[in-house]
Structure 1
Amino acid sequence: MISQDTYRKIRTSMIVISLTFGTGVFWAAVAAGIVRYIVHSDEDRTLLFVGGPVFVLYCIWCVARLPDMLRKAGYIE
């Protein structure tokens, strides 16, 4: 049987990871689209060299900051 504490940790992790991944993909695509529009570069190259680093940095920021924000909003315990 899974304890209540383990269940809470798994639930918190899944919420944070899913929100981080979803919003990370969104902001990486937005950043790559803006750079692609300004520089007129190739889509694959822009997604790789702009979208990739934006996604990684945004995910690191979300994992560090999102649990506090979600606790304050009441989504997680």
Structure 2
Amino acid sequence: MVTHPFHPLLGRELVVLFERHTRRGLWFVCEVDGQRRVTLRQEWTDRGVLAAEQRLAVEGLGALREVIDAVLGRRSSTTQAGE
């Protein structure tokens, strides 16, 4: 089922013809109404991780904050050393 909120096929159940693995992730080549094919990222389907779990989880935001603090800390120490 297509779950991406902005995809024109949102809510449609499609037949998966085959899967394609690339360095960017897993893709499904699906059949639409027996007439055409469409390629969907795994994340855009009910077989992917829910966006809310992946993007807005407290743990993920905390980890992001640590990365930002580390980058800003490095920048300030680099700037101070180069002044």
TM-score by length of 1: 0.34
Larger helix proportion, structure 1 or 2? 1
Which of these two proteins has the greater Rg computed from alpha carbons? 2
TM-score by length of 2: 0.32
